[in-house]
Structure 1
Amino acid sequence: MKNFVVTTSHKPDREQVMKAKELAEKLGTIYVSRRRLKEFKVDFYYVVEKNRISIKWPGGEFFFHPSSAILRMRNIRSGQKDYLIESLQPEGNEIVLDTTFGLGSEAILMAAFLPEGKVIGLEGSIHIYTIVKYGMENFETDIRWLKDALKRIELYHANFKEYIRSQPDNSFDVVYCDPMFENPVYESSAMNPLRPFAVYDTVNEEDIEEMLRIAKKKVILKSHVKDSLFKRIRVDELKGSRKSGVLYGVIYKR
Structure 2
Amino acid sequence: MIITTASRTTSDLLSKAKELSHTFDLPYKERNGVSVEQLKAHYQTDVVVVGKDRVFISPINDESKLFFHPNLAMVRAKRIFNGEKEPLIETAQLREGMSFLDCTLGLASDSIIASIAVGSAGSVIGIEYNDVLHLLAKQGLASHVSGNQLFDQAMRRIEVIRDDHYSFLKKAKTNSVDIVYFDPMFSAPINTSSGMNSIRNQASSNDITIEIIAEAKRVARKRVVLKDHWKSDRFTKLGFTQHRRKTSLFHYGTLELDEQ
| Structure 1 and Structure 2 fold alike (TM over 0.5) | yes
Which piece of structure 1 moves more, 81-90 or 117-126? 81-90
Displaced runs of 4 or more, over 3 A:
21-30, 75-81
Q: Cα deviations across residues 173-217 of structure 1 (Å, max 9, x unaligned)?
A: 111111111112132111122222111111111111110101111
C-alpha change, 1:210 and 1:248, in structure 2 (3 Å) is same
Distance 2:139 2:191 in 1: 26
Which runs of 5 or more structure 2 residues have no equivalent in the other structure?
none
Between 124-133 and 13-22, report the one with greater CA deviation.
13-22
Q: Give 1:249's aligned amino acid.
A: G
1:50 is matched with 52
Mapping for residues 114-129 of structure 1, pairs under 5 Å: 114-115=118-119, 116-129=121-134
In structure 2, give the amino acid aligned to 1:152.
Answer: R
Structure 2 CA distance for aligned equivalents of residues 114 and 153 of structure 1: 11
Matching of residue 135 in structure 1 with residue 124 in structure 2: no
Q: Which residue, 3, 20, 40 being the options, matches 1:6?
A: 3
1:183–1:33 distance in 2 versus 1, CA, 3 Å: same
Question: Alpha carbon RMSD of aligned pairs, Å?
Answer: 2.1
Following TM superposition, by how much is the alpha carbon of 1:105 offset from its aligned partner in structure 2, in angstroms?
A: 0.6
How many angstroms apart in 2 are the aligned matches of 1:13 and 1:100?
A: 36
Q: CA deviation at 1:241?
A: 2.2
User: Which whole-Å CA distance do the structure 1 matches of 2:149 and 2:12 have between them?
Assistant: 29
Higher mean alpha-carbon deviation, 53-62 vs 209-218, is at 53-62
What letter corresponds to residue 210 of structure 1 in structure 2? E
**1:227 corresponds to 2:227:** no
Q: Name the counterpart of 2:200.
A: 195
SS at match of 2:7: coil
Q: Deviations over 1:112-158 (max 9, x none)?
A: 01121010110010111101111111112321220221132111111
Give the aligned residue type for 1:31: K
Q: Percent identity?
A: 30
- Distance across 2 between alignment mates of 1:34 and 1:225: 49
Normalised TM-score (structure 2)? 0.87
**Higher relative contact order structure (alpha carbons within 8 Å, sequence separation ≥ 6):** 1
Which amino acid is 1:67 matched to?
Answer: N
Secondary structure in 1 matching 2:242: strand
Q: Find out whether 1:168 has 2:180 as its counterpart.
A: no
Aligned-partner Cα distance in 2 for 1:77–1:28: 39
Pair 1:238 & 2:242 matched:
yes
Deviations 1:8-62 (A, max 9, x none): 1121112322443454574555514061135431564211123431113554111
The answer to whether the 8 A contact 1:117-1:152 is kept is: no
* Mapped pair 1:20 → 2:17: yes
Paired amino acid for 2:31: S
From 101, 104, 127, the equivalent of 2:105 is: 101
Amino acid at match of 1:54: F
* Between 200-209 and 211-220, the greater mean CA deviation after superposition: 200-209
Match of 1:35 among 11, 33, 36: 33
Corresponding residue SS for 2:228: strand
Deviates more, 1:208-217 or 1:223-232: 223-232
Q: Could you say which residue in structure 1 is the equivalent of 2:156?
A: 151
SS of residue paired to 2:194 = coil
Counterpart-to-counterpart distance in 1, 2:207 and 2:223: 19
| Number of aligned positions between the proteins | 250
Give the alignment partner of residue 66 of structure 1, picking from 51, 67, 70: 70
Paired with 2:117 and 2:91, the residues of 1 have a C-alpha distance of: 12
In 2, the alpha carbon distance for the partners of 1:147 and 1:80 equals 20
